[in-house]
Amino acid sequence: MTIIELRNTFRDKLKFSTNECDFLYKVILKDLCELDPIKIALDPNFIVDKSSEKLILTSLDRISANYPIDYIINKKNFYGYDIYVNEDVLIPRPETEELVEWILDDNINITKTKKVIDLCSGSGCIGIAISKENNYMDVTVSDISEKALEVCNKNKINLDSSINVIKLDLNSKYSSQIKYDIIVSNPPYLSFSELDSIGENVKFEPDIALFAPRNNPLHFYEKIFEFALDNLNKKGQVYLEINPIYIEDFKQLLSRFKLNDVNFRDDFRAKKRLVKVSF
């Protein structure tokens, strides 16, 4: 098939706008087939080789089934860095970039090293972005999932990052000789009651990284605060992404831990999704 015929096949099969279909097609051309999308305009009758054609049509079938394109190309840009992703980790989202930006803005003028730990790190995108953007940040990323840690290490190598990668189970007591100045986390925070309302493509992402325990949607925040009591330096900060649905329950949790120095921040969708807690 020609490159233009394949483009038209995308337009015919996908129930998206023409612009979105063309965007997806160009991503597949560039990232999977190493074909310059400019050929669509300059050489529309270019014959795509059989192996690339198969890749393109297989990808089309998967996109039609709501499979995330980021998993197809194993890549998601986060804070300017191409993060490797697969089905073992969440796909980084723009709301989480705002969490990174908050930390970096708060520490833009530091001249001494700060120790940072990213809990429930998944792909490692948060910790890698922080460490790459500020050389004074000594960052450790952690997760319970061995497969997620493999992705972290892959991103560490791919992006020439200085992060430390460790296995850490928040459900077990953890105490280290190292004390951290900053804790950051985007933990599992969806409830199973939200399952019907999330996008079809999200359902391909790992449950372990998406959902809190059924009986306690704030379980991991409780564990993070317990971790902070043992492992955070005095005057340290905890930066979190939270579920806006449970904002009142979250405030009660803060009260239970007697945490009063708290700042909430809306994300770009005007939802109260980010919080900084000073200990």
pLDDT digits (tens, 9 = 90+) for 204-257: 999 999 998 888 999 999 999 999 999 999 999 999 999 999 999 999 999 999
Residue 74 confidence (pLDDT) above 80: yes
Give me the pLDDT at residue 194, please. Answer: 79
In this structure, of 61-70, 139-148, 189-198, the range with the lowest mean pLDDT score is 189-198
Give me the pLDDT at residue 174, please. Answer: 82
Average pLDDT over residues 77-83: 98
Q: At what angle do helices 219-231 and 247-256 cross, to 10 degrees?
A: 30
Could you tell me the strand order of the sheet in which 164-167 lies?
Answer: 164-167, 137-143, 114-119, 180-185, 232-241, 272-278, 261-266
Average pLDDT over residues 145-160: 98
What are the C-alpha distances in Å from 199 to residues 16, 67, 115, 237, 257? 15, 11, 36, 32, 34
What are the C-alpha distances in Å from 262 to residues 113, 189, 234? 24, 19, 15
Provide the β-strand partners of residue 239: 184, 276
Residue 198 confidence (pLDDT) above 90: no
CB 77 within 8 A of CB 31: no
Find, among 97, 78, 93, 102, the residue nearest to 275 by Cα.
Answer: 102
Average pLDDT over residues 170-177: 85
Query: What is the percentage of the chain residues whose pLDDT exceeds 70?
Result: 100
Three-state DSSP at 49 gives coil
Q: Which CATH number fits domain 80-278: 3.40.50.620, 3.40.50.10490, 3.40.50.1970, 3.40.50.150?
A: 3.40.50.150
Sign of the torsion angle spanned by Cα atoms 241, 209, 191, 231: negative
Residue with tokens 């986390």: 185
**Which residue did the predictor score with more confidence, 157 or 176?**
157
Distance CA 90, CA 185 (A): 13
Residue 147 confidence (pLDDT) above 80: yes
Residue 196 confidence (pLDDT) above 90: no
Residue 195 confidence (pLDDT) above 80: no
Distance CA 258, CA 168 (A): 25
CB 166 within 8 A of CB 127: no
DSSP 270: S
Average pLDDT over residues 70-80: 98
Give me the pLDDT at residue 215, please. Answer: 84
CB 175 within 8 A of CB 230: yes
Query: What is the percentage of the chain residues whose pLDDT exceeds 90?
Result: 91
Give me the pLDDT at residue 214, please. Answer: 84
Distance CA 96, CA 109 (A): 22
